[in-house]
Structure 1
Amino acid sequence: MTSFRAFRPDDLNHFSKCNLDPLTETYDLSFYLQYFAKWPTLFQVAEDSRGNIVGYIMGKTESSPDYFQYSEHYLPWHAHITALTVAPEARRLGIGKMLTEQLEAGAEAANAYFVDLFVRKSNEKAIKFYEGMGYSVYRVVKDYYGDNINDPTAHGEDAYDMRKPTKRDKALKHIRDDGRKHEVQPEDVF
């Protein structure tokens, strides 16, 4: 049986099963603690019956800075999934979906326009997962990832900026059907 709860700082000592996946970004301790301090309701963990962390999601709410307001790349108030990971032995149990739904509920409560995330263009499993949950590609961020896990000699790997509208975006203004045709540079992304 899996239970879900808010992240606690001592959970950092129990993330290793989740963070061993090469597609999971691992951050320094201060980064995790910053999310805990600023957005505690958007940082959730999944625990198995023995108390092992078998998944987590960390997110935030934000908008582009005011000076960016007149840019075509301006982002209004939204929620962002910074990391979602599930330990290999706990996959295909719906844990990722439940964690994502919890973050989406937090986005609704914060009156965000949409939830977005970045995913490697080569991560087909994750892309299918998010598409199955109603996310779509909004744009391609060229060379977003500084490393290319498939070819270390290549330039950075592209990312899909995927989005799912919330109830606030009644006109669906912040999503598009042809997102794979819209390319931007990393500096265009806040």
Structure 2
Amino acid sequence: MTTLRPFSALDVLKFNPTNLDPLTETYDLSFYFSYLAQWPHLFTVALSPSSTITGYIMGKTESSPQALLLSKSPHYLPWHAHITALTVSPSARRLGLARTLSQVLEKGGDEYDAWFVDLFVRKSNLIAQELYKGLGYSVFRTVKGYYNEFVREKR
């Protein structure tokens, strides 16, 4: 049975096997610690019965900078939750863990009065796109160059 708990600082030393998927975005330690310090309620880890990390989700709450000035702009984003990273190790996939972790983050966003949840997915990551579609998410817009995939493909 999978156990969910808040992410802790020591988890950064234990979650590398979960991050080995080439489609998983990885960050430097300061990035993870920054999220843990600012949004601990939106940073959850999933553990196997042997206490191995099998997945995690990290997110944040945000709105458009200068929200009052931009509120009439088509680019305005009201207060919302954002999924920064959601990853599940290959051994724990197809068990509904991504759905469960997403629901935990959505509930955390609700507790902070978020209007919605957003995220970014690589255009080439069709598996993730299907996952999020199945969770009820839809494509709002495509941000060209967000992941800089063209540059990567040219290397």
TM-score (norm 1): 0.77
Amino acid aligned to 1:59 = G
How many percent identity over aligned positions? 58
State the partner residue of 1:104. Answer: 106
- Structure having the higher helix fraction is 2
- Structure having the higher strand fraction is 1
| Cα drift, residue 123 of structure 1 | 1.0
State the partner residue of 2:131. Answer: 129
Alignment deviations for residues 43-81 of structure 1 (CA, whole Å, 9 cap, x no partner): 000000111111000000000111761532111100000
Q: For 2:80, which of 68, 78, 81 is the aligned residue?
A: 78
State the partner residue of 1:184. Answer: none
- Give the 4+ runs in structure 1 shifted more than 6 A: none
State the partner residue of 1:26. Answer: 26
Alignment deviations for residues 31-54 of structure 1 (CA, whole Å, 9 cap, x no partner): 000111000010000000111111
Q: Distance in 1 between matches of 2:144 and 2:40?
A: 31
TM-score (norm 2): 0.93
Q: For 1:90, which of 89, 92, 111 is the aligned residue?
A: 92
In angstroms, what is the RMSD of aligned CA positions?
1.6
Any idea what SS the aligned residue of 1:142 has?
coil
State the partner residue of 2:41. Answer: 41
| Aligned ranges 1:8-23 → 2 under 5 Å | 8-23=8-23
- For structure 1, which segment, 138-147 or 81-90, has the greater mean C-alpha deviation from structure 2 after superposition? 138-147
Q: Distance in 2 between matches of 1:120 and 1:12?
A: 24
Any idea what SS the aligned residue of 1:50 has?
coil
1 or 2 for the larger relative contact order (CA 8 Å, sep ≥6)? 2
Aligned length: 153
Unpaired runs of 5+ residues, structure 1, are 155-190
| Cα drift, residue 148 of structure 1 | 4.7
State the partner residue of 1:153. Answer: 154
State the partner residue of 2:63. Answer: 63
